Structure 1
């Protein structure tokens, strides 16, 4: 856990103190994209090798879908309420 937090802090410090050129930002973007793809791939291997995950895939999928839909729905409702309450009279473009 500490290695993850230290890596995050080191990256934040480097990003704050060193200004990256556009070329370096593009390279960093590709490295980040590769990292995310590798993370998803390794998570897929882990989930696929777990027999209880495979056995409960239908239940996990329906729970995940419900969570995603409700989270999105209530986020939209909350943004609508906050926008109407605090942004009255402002141009909503």
Structure 2
């Protein structure tokens, strides 16, 4: 698949319509604020499901990125960073709780 702006936006839109607010672009996670609650999106069961799993084994989720950074920090003995960026109201606070 050739990645261009139209392809990316269409993929994000189609996922959003299915309440799938997270999308991977390579190893980058794109999040779209759903402006409503999605049941079990941030549950302890979701955390457990992503723990120790490689990126791409499960659907895109902020927990997958957090777990990968945590595992890399332990294995590589190096600090890890995440950049959370977006406009006001984009959902940055919810994604980083």
The structure carrying a bigger helix percent of its residues is: 1
The structure where strand makes up a greater share of residues is 2
| Larger RCO, structure (CA 8 Å, separation 6 or more) | 2
Flag whether TM exceeds 0.5 (same fold). Answer: no
Work out which of the two has the higher radius of gyration on C-alpha atoms and give 1 or 2: 1
TM-score, length basis structure 1: 0.32
TM-score (normalizing by structure 2): 0.31
